Homo-oligomer: A and B are copies of this chain.
């Protein structure tokens, strides 16, 4: 994306007045990051407000014992809202952001971000809306980690991660990291799903056979 029309990728920004959009486009730059890039993390503070044009970024929290849990994903058209709040505040961001695919993004410098927040009600709305979605989602995750059964959460996650062809290309270890659980536990649950004929598994791939059954379980209290 060498052109300057990336604003069109973000519905919340289309309504920006030209005198607002101009400095935004002029001071920000489009960056391309290969899959696997660590974008921010402890000891690597983010330095700009990121808007994703293409690809996804996975934000996860690692425990001292080496276990992990995925907090959320930033997809095309969205922004790294929480990262930025921490960028604007003083606090060290403890989570880690990894490019899950090749990523194309707009990097808005901190000073431009602050300027836009001051000058545009539209931009404020865009930022705070993104914020509220993330925070609400974090609350949901806390509730699920604390109170939901692992089989229900796994069923939800499989449906969420399923690509075309109802295929989930993840190892048991990766699924465990998604949910903050352990590999063995995920393996046993998957065995049980398979025994019931809901999925078919092979090395690194899970095929969903009976999505309805999974949805039914995922909707359980």
Minimum CB–CB distance for A46 against chain B, Å = 12
The one of B91, B118, B129, B141 that contacts A129, using a Cβ cutoff of 8 Å: B91
CB of A27 within 8 Å of the partner chain: no
A92-122: contact bitstring with B at CB < 8 Å (1 yes, 0 no)?
1111000000000000000000100111010
A141-155: contact bitstring with B at CB < 8 Å (1 yes, 0 no)?
111011100000000
Binding site for B on A (CB under 8 A): 61, 63-65, 67, 69, 71, 82, 85-86, 88-95, 114, 117-119, 121, 124-125, 128-133, 135-136, 138-143, 145-147, 180, 221
Minimum CB–CB distance for A67 against chain B, Å = 5
Identical chains bound together, number: 2
- Secondary structure dominating the interface of A: helix
How many angstroms between the C-alpha atoms of A147 and B133 in the bound complex? Answer: 25
Hey, which chain B residues are within 8 Å of A135, CB to CB?
82, 85-86, 91, 135, 138
Given contacts A91-B129, A118-B119, contact A141 B142 (CB under 8 A): yes
How many angstroms between the C-alpha atoms of A73 and B119 in the bound complex? Answer: 32
- A142 contacts B71, C-beta separation under 8 Å: yes
How many angstroms between the C-alpha atoms of A125 and B94 in the bound complex? Answer: 20
- A86 contacts B145, C-beta separation under 8 Å: no
- B136 contacts A142, C-beta separation under 8 Å: no
Which of A82, A92, A130, A221 counts the most chain B CB atoms within 10 A?
A: A82
Minimum CB–CB distance for A45 against chain B, Å = 11
Minimum CB–CB distance for A56 against chain B, Å = 20
Hey, which chain B residues are within 8 Å of A85, CB to CB?
128, 131-132, 135
- B89 contacts A139, C-beta separation under 8 Å: no
How many angstroms between the C-alpha atoms of A33 and B82 in the bound complex? Answer: 31
The one of B82, B90, B146 that contacts A69, using a Cβ cutoff of 8 Å: B146
Hey, which chain B residues are within 8 Å of A142, CB to CB?
61, 69, 71, 138, 141-142, 145, 180
- A131 contacts B89, C-beta separation under 8 Å: yes
- B180 contacts A89, C-beta separation under 8 Å: no
Minimum CB–CB distance for A127 against chain B, Å = 9
